[in-house]
């Protein structure tokens, strides 16, 4: 194998595939990436046997071939190289990395031992949308997700196609986020209504990897393929049950509060400095035109932040974990954010002022 | 040749052919599904394994299979379910029937900082003669935290309210002292896994800090720590560190400290230094009160007749009472009709498993011998040492009580005549009322027996 590549392109490809790398004691070859030059295309593949990422990069193929290269070392070298072009040549199981003023040799392992990447049976039916839309929708939903050791059943994003809506949902049991994408913002071809659970890690990586073009999504029993022109992610699907969450979303609210998003985020950040160990901050109504955000840590001090806002209806004091509240507020895309409050012990709703496509449900901190 | 055996033999052959790593990665978790018209269907844990095995090992496996079963012509590979196992921690706090309710809503009630579930409050804890002492001690501790009774050790059987009581203390402390005192609740399983995590990732300092940086440490089901040396040691140091600073420690277990066989002596003696209180089986009046308080909590009603029926039939376990209750309420809501006593009885019968039909006298004898750590031969033998006589009599008593066997039959089983059996049963039933340690042992043995 002998190829010449542009350093930046190679680096970008390596960044994408490095996201699925994982250690496996039984199979040390998983620390390597598959490097293939064929038909004037260069393909990089990495996998941890749960998810596999394939990246295609442009380059000049002088001689076709395939091998596997230790990812960590290879990335380290490529990142450090200053010149624009890199020549890669494999001879007798040794990768020769050459630039104008640098030369390195790396031991490779034969690709015979590398796992075969599963394929989708048919690419006839699919969903597609722009990478921007895909990325921002996923990011919104991931605002309510965190890896929970004790609740593996929640470490996932629910993916539902129902009539003309594509719905993404995720929860960590303290909050829940739901994003509805309307047909038109996504296209679909021959798909039936579908419900599947994507592992959280896959969703997180997907939200970071796709940067441009259209993302096509193919779903088949037990696996999902996400791809654009440059990158493909294939991942297993989970088959446990997502909690039935629909009834959790409050149908009506007692009090509606509309606040400038950036002001609120600032206020939360500032008042959090004196919040208790449980990240608790309190919100209280101050007349009809303002809310008071306050927090105190006994033996340290206390603070109050007054914030003008439009309030309809009334509520008493309600307490939240400020981190969770900020996550939700940040995920709202409009300049102003709507907070619907029911009761100090019932979930609050955070969304755009005019019912948008995104809703974030947050449980207040309860006073027993 | 049956399929399972066939596949095991084929796997055995493959294991010899392949490297250990390859076998472990690709074939170890395979299963045989079916055989149809000469095609053997094999399931693999993921698509990667399927792709690999299908393309690389197809021939070898077919060869290996055909050595044992020449009628196999083809292999087909499928992917089997990847379901994540149900989380373990939930079995302690959530009754079976809360599944019908909104699970998320319940989970929202767990405070991430203290790990306490706000569902458990002392207000909703029903007090009766079987748990009076424990409850009074709990209140005294809340008033004078860390100084009055430290450590506080609560023990009692499954589903009698240990977790409720100790979490209730935590919640009460949180409510009364606000942010000044920081309770922390942990199951011993979680503690163990934290210690393991700390050792593995060389972050033991973080783990130490997490547990020592609190004013009230509540450890549930301490018996699971027994025998895990590093965990026990870490717990011991944590315990000392907190105790020296007059921080309150609350521990629960399914048996008293002196009956925790695998626990180290130095730990046990420390447990005994504080206050030990037991929670026993609730009596009838208390069961009625529990049912009523549960109903009140959920803002629902049941007729006196049904309440009486549940209280009479479900005796040994509060969690079972909750289960039955939820099931009845669920049926009522789902079908929108009131249940008559007969239907209620049917539900109780189904929920409270009727163990006696599934237990044999051999299982009882085995459980007793396991518990006392003596062999079955010794128990049925002729030796009349005290250490052997008690287990022997307990076994006879339990066979009589659980299975209602005839005395001659019991005698025969234990290599004795029927008068010995009568004597043993009478002696134990007399002693069980006077000797609380004996009745405690009895409950533990019964748990062993009924454990599936």
- CATH number of the domain encompassing residue A209: 3.10.150.10
| Closest to A168 (Cα-Cα) out of A158, A182, A156, A183 | A158
Q: Let me know whether A257 and A323 are in one domain.
A: yes
Strand partners, A213: none
> Among A226, A246, A266, which residue terminates a domain?
A246
Mean pLDDT of chain B: 80
Q: Let me know whether A137 and A242 are in one domain.
A: yes
Q: Is A165 on the interface with B (CB under 8 A)?
A: no
Indicate yes or no: CB of B87 within 8 angstroms of CB of A152: yes
User: Is it true that the peptide bond before A19 is cis, omega within 30 degrees of 0?
Assistant: no
φ and ψ of A348, to 5 deg: -100, 155
Q: What is the domain count for chain A?
A: 3
Q: What is the CB-side half-sphere exposure of residue A240 using CA atoms within 13 A? A: 16
Strand partners, B144: none
Q: What is the pLDDT of residue B336?
A: 66
Q: Let me know whether A230 and A313 are in one domain.
A: no
Q: Let me know whether B124 and B215 are in one domain.
A: yes
Nearest by CB to residue A173, choosing from B51, B86, B108, is B108
Q: Let me know whether B263 and B362 are in one domain.
A: no
Indicate yes or no: CB of B86 within 8 angstroms of CB of A50: no
Nearest by CB to residue B52, choosing from A115, A173, A244, is A115
Task: Give the whole-angstrom CA distance, residue B61 versus residue B66.
Answer: 8
Kindly state the tokens that stand for B419.
């008068």
State the pLDDT confidence band at B106, using cuts at 50, 70 and 90: very low
Answer whether residue A287 shows pLDDT above 50.
Answer: yes
Give A4→chain B minimum CA distance, Å. 31
Nearest chain A alpha carbon to B179: A298
Q: What is the domain count for chain B?
A: 4
Each residue of B210-269: pLDDT tens digit? 888 888 899 988 888 877 888 888 888 888 888 888 889 999 988 888 777 777 778 788
Q: What is the pLDDT of residue A350?
A: 95
Task: Judge whether A333 and A148 are in contact, CB under 8 Å.
Answer: no
Which residues on chain B are in Cβ contact (under 8 Å) with A244? 102
Domain extent, residue B409, equals: 357-450
Cα angle B165-B167-B169, degrees, rounded to a multiple of 5 = 70
Task: Give the whole-angstrom CA distance, residue A261 versus residue A328.
Answer: 11
Percent of chain B at pLDDT > 70 equals 89
Which residues on chain B are in Cβ contact (under 8 Å) with A218? none
- Report yes or no on A130 lying in a domain: yes
Which residues on chain B are in Cβ contact (under 8 Å) with A153? 84, 86-87
Q: Let me know whether A194 and A132 are in one domain.
A: yes
Answer whether residue A268 shows pLDDT above 90.
Answer: yes
Q: Is A250 on the interface with B (CB under 8 A)?
A: no
The beta-carbon contacts of B63-68 under 8 Å, at least 24 apart in sequence, are B64/B9, B64/B10, B64/B13, B64/B14, B64/B17, B65/B6, B65/B7, B65/B10, B65/B40, B67/B10, B67/B13, B68/B1, B68/B6, B68/B9, B68/B10
State the pLDDT confidence band at A107, using cuts at 50, 70 and 90: very high
- Report yes or no on B163 lying in a domain: yes
> Among B330, B352, B374, which residue terminates a domain?
B352
Q: Is A276 on the interface with B (CB under 8 A)?
A: yes
Task: Give the whole-angstrom CA distance, residue B218 versus residue B135.
Answer: 16
State the pLDDT confidence band at B86, using cuts at 50, 70 and 90: very low
> Among B295, B321, B352, which residue terminates a domain?
B352
Nearest chain B alpha carbon to A221: B79
- Report yes or no on A84 lying in a domain: yes
Among A19-23, A177-181, A264-268, the least confident range: A19-23
CA distances from A21 to A47, A315, B246 (A): 6, 49, 48
Coil vs helix vs strand at A247: helix
Q: Let me know whether A139 and A241 are in one domain.
A: yes
Match 């088959």 to its residue by tokens: A239
Helical ranges in B99-228 per DSSP H: 103-107, 132-143, 162-177, 188-200, 204-212
- Report yes or no on A367 lying in a domain: no
Task: Give the whole-angstrom CA distance, residue B274 versus residue A351.
Answer: 53
Total number of residues shown for chain B: 452
Task: Judge whether A321 and A280 are in contact, CB under 8 Å.
Answer: yes
| Average pLDDT estimate for B9-24 | 85
Q: What is the pLDDT of residue B99?
A: 33
Name the strands in the sheet holding A103-107, side by side, starting at the edge strand that comes first in the sequence. Answer: A60-63, A2-6, A85-91, A94-98, A103-107
CA distances from A64 to A164, B63, B335 (A): 45, 35, 70
Residue B40 is part of a domain; what is its CATH number? Answer: 3.30.300.180
Task: Give the whole-angstrom CA distance, residue B182 versus residue B261.
Answer: 32
Nearest by CB to residue B104, choosing from A171, A236, A321, is A171
Give A102→chain B minimum CA distance, Å. 37
Cα angle B391-B395-B401, degrees, rounded to a multiple of 5 = 140
Give B25→chain A minimum CA distance, Å. 7
Answer whether residue B366 shows pLDDT above 60.
Answer: yes
Instruction: Give the pTM.
Output: 0.55
Which residues of B touch chain A, with CB atoms under 8 Å apart?
21, 24-25, 46-52, 55-56, 79, 81-87, 89, 102-105, 107-114, 118, 121, 171, 174-175, 178-180, 182, 190
Task: Judge whether B266 and B237 are in contact, CB under 8 Å.
Answer: no
Which residues on chain B are in Cβ contact (under 8 Å) with A365? 111
Kindly state the tokens that stand for A278.
């449980």
- Report yes or no on B98 lying in a domain: no
Nearest chain B alpha carbon to A247: B102
- Report yes or no on A121 lying in a domain: no
More confident residue, B95 or B411: B411
Give the Cβ contact number of residue A105 at 10 Å.
Answer: 11
More confident residue, B102 or A331: A331
- Report yes or no on B88 lying in a domain: no
| Average pLDDT estimate for B396-402 | 86
Nearest chain A alpha carbon to B189: A150
Give B254→chain A minimum CA distance, Å. 23
Q: What is the pLDDT of residue B89?
A: 31
Task: Give the whole-angstrom CA distance, residue B242 versus residue A256.
Answer: 46
Task: Judge whether B411 and B418 are in contact, CB under 8 Å.
Answer: yes
- Report yes or no on A37 lying in a domain: yes
Indicate yes or no: CB of A278 within 8 angstroms of CB of B109: no
Q: Let me know whether B151 and B37 are in one domain.
A: no
Task: Give the whole-angstrom CA distance, residue A216 versus residue A188.
Answer: 9
Indicate yes or no: CB of A236 within 8 angstroms of CB of B24: no
Answer whether residue B104 shows pLDDT above 70.
Answer: no
Indicate yes or no: CB of A118 within 8 angstroms of CB of B109: no
Q: Let me know whether A193 and A284 are in one domain.
A: no
Select the residue from A116, A224, A250 to test the B interface by mutation, using most B Cβ atoms within 10 A: A116
Nearest chain A alpha carbon to B80: A222
Q: Let me know whether A204 and A134 are in one domain.
A: yes
| Average pLDDT estimate for A55-84 | 93
Highest mean pLDDT range out of A164-168, B65-69, B211-215? Answer: A164-168
Give A245→chain B minimum CA distance, Å. 8
Question: Among residues 54-113 of chain A, which lie with CB inside 8 Å of chain B?
Answer: none
- Report yes or no on A118 lying in a domain: no
Task: Give the whole-angstrom CA distance, residue A22 versus residue B256.
Answer: 46
Answer whether residue A146 shows pLDDT above 90.
Answer: no
Q: Is A367 on the interface with B (CB under 8 A)?
A: yes
| Closest to A225 (Cα-Cα) out of A107, A53, A24 | A53
Which residues on chain A are in Cβ contact (under 8 Å) with B56? 116
Domain extent, residue A302, equals: 250-362
Task: Give the whole-angstrom CA distance, residue A178 versus residue B149.
Answer: 49
Size of interface A-B (CB pairs under 8 A): 104
Q: Let me know whether A130 and A232 are in one domain.
A: yes
Kindly state the tokens that stand for A332.
């709202």
Question: Among residues 20-49 of chain A, which lie with CB inside 8 Å of chain B?
Answer: 24, 26-28, 47, 49
Q: Let me know whether B124 and B245 are in one domain.
A: yes
- Report yes or no on B91 lying in a domain: no
Indicate yes or no: CB of A277 within 8 angstroms of CB of B179: yes
- Report yes or no on B97 lying in a domain: no
Strand partners, B218: B185, B250
Nearest by CB to residue A278, choosing from B52, B104, B111, is B111
Task: Judge whether A243 and A178 are in contact, CB under 8 Å.
Answer: no
- Report yes or no on B99 lying in a domain: no
Q: Let me know whether A241 and A136 are in one domain.
A: yes
More confident residue, A140 or B386: A140
- Report yes or no on A335 lying in a domain: yes
Q: Let me know whether B124 and B75 are in one domain.
A: no
Q: Let me know whether A288 and A240 are in one domain.
A: no
Question: Among residues 282-311 of chain A, which lie with CB inside 8 Å of chain B?
Answer: 296-299
Beta strands in B54-137 (DSSP E): 74-79
Which residues on chain A are in Cβ contact (under 8 Å) with B55? 116
> Among B221, B251, B279, which residue terminates a domain?
B279
Q: Let me know whether A133 and A241 are in one domain.
A: yes
Q: Let me know whether B225 and B365 are in one domain.
A: no
Answer whether residue B83 shows pLDDT above 50.
Answer: no
CA distances from A266 to A182, A271, A293, B386 (A): 32, 9, 11, 75
State the pLDDT confidence band at A127, using cuts at 50, 70 and 90: very high
Q: Let me know whether B124 and B241 are in one domain.
A: yes
Answer whether residue A29 shows pLDDT above 70.
Answer: yes
> Among A70, A87, A113, which residue terminates a domain?
A113
Which residues on chain A are in Cβ contact (under 8 Å) with B51? 115-119
Q: Let me know whether B386 and B237 are in one domain.
A: no
Give B207→chain A minimum CA distance, Å. 16
Nearest by CB to residue B84, choosing from A238, A247, A299, is A238
Each residue of A290-323: pLDDT tens digit? 999 999 887 888 899 999 999 999 888 899 999 9
More confident residue, B176 or B262: B176
Indicate yes or no: CB of A152 within 8 angstroms of CB of B85: yes
Q: Let me know whether B191 and B239 are in one domain.
A: yes
Which residues on chain A are in Cβ contact (under 8 Å) with B112? 174, 278, 321
Task: Judge whether B451 and B445 are in contact, CB under 8 Å.
Answer: no
Residue B192 is part of a domain; what is its CATH number? Answer: 3.40.50.300
Residue B364 is part of a domain; what is its CATH number? Answer: 1.10.1750.10
Which residues on chain A are in Cβ contact (under 8 Å) with B183? none
- Report yes or no on A193 lying in a domain: yes
Give B165→chain A minimum CA distance, Å. 15
Q: Let me know whether A240 and A264 are in one domain.
A: no
State the pLDDT confidence band at B354, using cuts at 50, 70 and 90: low
Task: Give the whole-angstrom CA distance, residue B409 versus residue B406.
Answer: 5
Task: Give the whole-angstrom CA distance, residue A341 versus residue A253.
Answer: 6
Task: Judge whether B186 and B218 are in contact, CB under 8 Å.
Answer: yes
Answer whether residue A260 shows pLDDT above 50.
Answer: yes
Q: Let me know whether B116 and B247 are in one domain.
A: yes
CA distances from B431 to A160, B256, B331, B388, B440 (A): 63, 19, 43, 17, 12
- Report yes or no on B44 lying in a domain: yes
Indicate yes or no: CB of B104 within 8 angstroms of CB of A245: yes
Indicate yes or no: CB of B118 within 8 angstroms of CB of A247: no
The beta-carbon contacts of B88-93 under 8 Å, at least 24 apart in sequence, are B88/B189, B89/A150, B89/B187, B89/B189, B89/B190, B92/B163, B92/B187, B92/B220, B92/B221, B93/B117, B93/B163
Give the Cβ contact number of residue A229 at 10 Å.
Answer: 10
Nearest by CB to residue B48, choosing from A49, A150, A299, is A49
State the pLDDT confidence band at A367, using cuts at 50, 70 and 90: low
Q: Let me know whether B73 and B18 are in one domain.
A: yes
Q: Let me know whether B175 and B50 are in one domain.
A: no
- Report yes or no on B87 lying in a domain: no
Calculate Rg over the CA atoms of chain B: 27
Task: Give the whole-angstrom CA distance, residue B126 versus residue B287.
Answer: 9
Kindly state the tokens that stand for B426.
């009478």
Q: What is the pLDDT of residue A325?
A: 94
């Amino acid at each position: 194998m002998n190829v010449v590549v542009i350093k930046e392109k190679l680096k970008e490809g390596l960044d994408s595939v490095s996201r699925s790398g994982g250690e496996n004691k039984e199979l040390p070859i998983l620390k390597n990436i598959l490097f293939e030059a064929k038909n004037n295309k260069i393909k990089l593949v990495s996998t941890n046997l749960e998810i596999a990422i394939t990246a295609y990069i442009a380059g000049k193929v002088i001689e076709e071939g395939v091998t596997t290269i230790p990812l960590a070392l290879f990335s380290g070298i490529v990142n450090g190289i200053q010149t624009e072009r890199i020549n890669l040549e494999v001879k007798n199981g040794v990768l020769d990395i050459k630039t104008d003023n640098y030369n390195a040799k790396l031991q490779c392992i034969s690709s015979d031992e590398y796992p075969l990447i599963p394929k989708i049976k048919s690419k006839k039916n699919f969903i597609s949308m722009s990478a921007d839309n895909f990325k921002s929708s996923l990011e919104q939903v991931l605002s309510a997700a965190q890896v929970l050791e004790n609740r593996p059943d929640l470490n996932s994003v629910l993916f539902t196609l129902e009539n003309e809506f594509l719905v993404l949902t995720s929860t960590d049991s303290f909050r829940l986020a739901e994003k509805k994408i309307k047909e038109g913002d996504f296209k679909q071809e021959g798909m039936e209504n579908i419900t599947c659970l994507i592992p959280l890690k896959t969703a997180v990586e997907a939200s970071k990897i796709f940067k441009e073009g259209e993302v096509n999504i193919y779903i088949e029993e037990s696996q999902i393929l996400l791809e654009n022109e440059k990158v493909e992610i294939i991942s297993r699907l989970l088959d446990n049950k997502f909690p039935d969450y629909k009834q959790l979303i409050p149908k009506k609210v007692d009090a509606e509060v509309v606040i400038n998003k950036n002001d609120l985020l600032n206020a939360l950040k500032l008042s959090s400095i004196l919040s208790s160990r449980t990240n608790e901050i309190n919100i209280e109504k101050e007349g009809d035109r303002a809310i008071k955000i306050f927090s105190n840590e006994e033996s340290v001090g206390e603070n109050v932040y007054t914030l003008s806002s439009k309030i309809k209806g009334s509520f008493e004091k309600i307490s939240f974990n400020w981190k969770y509240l900020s996550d939700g507020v940040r995920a709202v895309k409009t300049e102003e954010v709507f907070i619907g409050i029911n009761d100090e012990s019932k979930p609050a709703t955070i969304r755009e002022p005019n019912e948008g496509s995104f809703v974030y449900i947050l449980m207040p901190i309860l006073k027993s | 040749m049956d399929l399972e055996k066939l596949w095991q033999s084929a796997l055995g052959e493959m294991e010899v052919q392949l490297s250990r790593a390859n076998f472990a990665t690709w074939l170890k978790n395979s299963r045989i599904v079916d055989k149809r018209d000469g095609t053997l269907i094999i399931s693999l844990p993921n698509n990667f394994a399927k792709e690999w095995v299908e393309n690389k090992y197809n021939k070898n496996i077919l060869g290996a299979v055909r050595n044992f079963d020449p009628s196999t012509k083809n292999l087909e590979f499928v992917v089997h379910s990847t379901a994540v196992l149900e989380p373990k921690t939930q079995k302690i706090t959530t009754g079976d029937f809360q599944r019908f309710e909104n699970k998320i809503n319940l989970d929202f009630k767990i405070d991430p900082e203290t790990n306490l579930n706000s569902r458990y409050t002392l207000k909703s804890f029903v007090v009766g003669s079987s748990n009076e002492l424990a409850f009074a001690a709990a209140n005294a501790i809340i008033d004078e935290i860390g100084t009055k009774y430290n450590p506080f050790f609560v023990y009692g059987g499954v589903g009698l309210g240990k977790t409720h009581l100790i979490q209730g203390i935590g919640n009460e402390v949180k409510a009364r002292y606000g942010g000044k005192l920081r309770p922390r609740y942990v199951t011993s399983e979680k503690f163990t896994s934290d210690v393991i995590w700390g050792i593995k990732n060389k972050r033991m300092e973080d783990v130490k800090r997490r547990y020592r940086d609190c004013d009230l440490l509540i450890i549930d089901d301490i018996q699971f720590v027994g025998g895990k040396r590093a965990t026990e040691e870490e717990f011991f140091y944590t315990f000392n560190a907190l105790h020296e600073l007059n921080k309150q420690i609350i521990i629960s277990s399914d048996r008293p400290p002196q009956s925790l066989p695998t626990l180290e002596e130095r730990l046990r003696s420390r447990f005994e230094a504080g206050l030990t209180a037991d929670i026993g089986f609730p009596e009838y009046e208390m069961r009625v009160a529990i049912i009523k308080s549960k109903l009140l909590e959920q803002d629902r009603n049941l007729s006196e007749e049904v309440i009486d029926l549940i209280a009479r039939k479900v005796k040994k376990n509060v969690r079972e009472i909750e289960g039955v209750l939820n099931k009845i309420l669920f049926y009522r809501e789902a079908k929108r009709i009131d249940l008559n006593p007969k239907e209620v009885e049917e539900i109780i019968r189904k929920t409270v498993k009727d163990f006696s039909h599934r237990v044999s006298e051999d299982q009882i004898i085995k459980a007793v011998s396991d518990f006392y750590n003596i062999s079955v031969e010794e128990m049925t033998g002729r030796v009349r040492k005290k250490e052997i006589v008690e287990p022997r009599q307990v076994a006879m008593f339990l066979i009589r009580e659980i299975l209602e066997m005839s005395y001659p039959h019991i005698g025969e089983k234990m290599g004795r005549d029927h008068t010995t059996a009568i004597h043993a049963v009478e002696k134990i039933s007399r002693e069980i009322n006077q000797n609380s340690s004996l009745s405690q042992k009895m409950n533990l043995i019964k748990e062993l027996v009924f454990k599936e």
